[in-house]
Amino acid sequence: MAVGSCPSNLTQFDTLRQRIDDQLAAYSRFPSSCPERLGDAIRYCLLAPGKRLRPLIVLLANEACCGRVESALGAACAVEMIHAYSLVHDDLPAMDDDTMRRGRPTCHIQFDEATAILVGDALLTQAFEILATDVQPAETALRCTQVLATAAGSCHLIGGQAADLAAENRQLTIDELESIHVRKTAALFSAAAYMGGATAGADATQTAHLSEFGRLFGLSFQIVDDLLDVHGRPNDLGKQTQKDQQRGKSTYPQLVGDAASRDKARRLIDQALGHLATFGPSADSLRNLVHSLIDRKS
């Protein structure tokens, strides 16, 4: 799960990932009014070993705008909670019906279906509680709430998931596929980059560049995810592979082939990095994060 191509970045990313995990652990210590089994299931899913990519984007976009980690940690955890909820619900039998995630049995296998649905509901709700409580000033909290809610809503994450389910066993055009990828994956990346800038007090031009950076990076990330579903190893990915083909899903490699998919992913990365040009050396860690994921194995 390591993200980072050189020792100094690896250390920086690992240190930030540890801060994210400590904060997620603190947010998932509940009072006794939260049923024990529900709390256990929330921690099982939220603290499972993932890459923590979306919260890292928040923290590194914040750094690009010369912000302080403390100002962005709440927003970083909020976006990871939305992501974790979407994975738990996506794994349910009514959706992608997966038994392994992040190297462990999925939530509904380890606990039960009702608990998995409630874990998703709880994480989705808590994400917005955190934005309202731990992001300051109130105006920034409001803008982050608006952007994250839009990215997680019916026209983006949830809409992308609905379109993805409806597209099973149907050959999509490349535009239709890209529209699903934008909604299902890129929207959360874009919101993460936006929130990093917003919590550092970035101006509208900077947050617009960051949002577009996140969208393009997310699209490229999803194309690599499609390639990994075909060529990756279950042990590296911590989940089953070949799922797209099994469920009759259109993917980049299936529509345009592996080489063209890799070219497209690299072109998107170049475009994404173009949006960081105005930030100077403060965005070097964010650039390094992007580079480190181009040839990822998990």
Task: For residue 8, give Cα distances in angstroms to 55, 289, 298.
Answer: 19, 12, 21
Site for ligand GRG in 214-233 (CB under 6 A): 222, 225
Binding ligand GRG (rule: CB under 6 A), the pick from 131, 148, 157, 186 is 157
Interface map 52-71 toward ligand GRG (x if CB under 6 A): -x------------------
* Minimum CB distance to ligand GRG smaller for 21 or for 90: 90
- Select from 66-74, 131-139, 156-164, 275-283 the region that touches ligand GRG (CB under 6 A): 156-164
* Minimum CB distance to ligand GRG smaller for 118 or for 157: 157
| Residue 285 one-letter amino acid | S
Binding ligand GRG (rule: CB under 6 A), the pick from 108, 183, 184, 215 is 184
Distance CA 190, CA 144 (A): 12
Least distance between ligand GRG and beta carbon 51 (Å): 4
> Quick one: which of 189, 206, 217 has its CA closest to 273?
217
Task: For residue 34, give Cα distances in angstroms to 29, 113, 130, 195.
Answer: 9, 18, 17, 29
Q: Which helix (H) or strand (E) holds 105?
A: strand 104-105
* Count of residues of this chain found to bind ligand GRG when the rule CB under 6 A is applied: 16
**φ and ψ at 87, to 5 degrees?**
-70, -45
Binding ligand GRG (rule: CB under 6 A), the pick from 185, 190, 207, 250 is 185
- Select from 8-16, 82-90, 265-273, 285-293 the region that touches ligand GRG (CB under 6 A): 82-90
Asked if residue 177 binds ligand GRG (CB under 6 A), the reply is no
* Minimum CB distance to ligand GRG smaller for 51 or for 266: 51
218 within 8 A of 186, measured Cβ to Cβ: yes
Q: Which helix (H) or strand (E) holds 224?
A: helix 204-231
Distance CA 94, CA 92 (A): 5
* Minimum CB distance to ligand GRG smaller for 71 or for 249: 249
Asked if residue 158 binds ligand GRG (CB under 6 A), the reply is yes
Asked if residue 89 binds ligand GRG (CB under 6 A), the reply is yes
Least distance between ligand GRG and beta carbon 281 (Å): 26
**Closest CB to ligand GRG: residue number:** 50
Distance CA 140, CA 137 (A): 5
Distance CA 24, CA 40 (A): 13
Distance CA 279, CA 296 (A): 25
- Select from 24-32, 60-68, 81-89, 280-288 the region that touches ligand GRG (CB under 6 A): 81-89
Packing angle, helices 53-64 and 204-231, rounded to 10: 150
Binding ligand GRG (rule: CB under 6 A), the pick from 4, 50, 197, 232 is 50
Peptide bond into 253 cis (omega under 30): no
Q: Which residues bind ligand GRG (CB under 6 A)?
A: 50-51, 53, 86-87, 89-90, 95, 102, 157-158, 161, 184-185, 222, 225
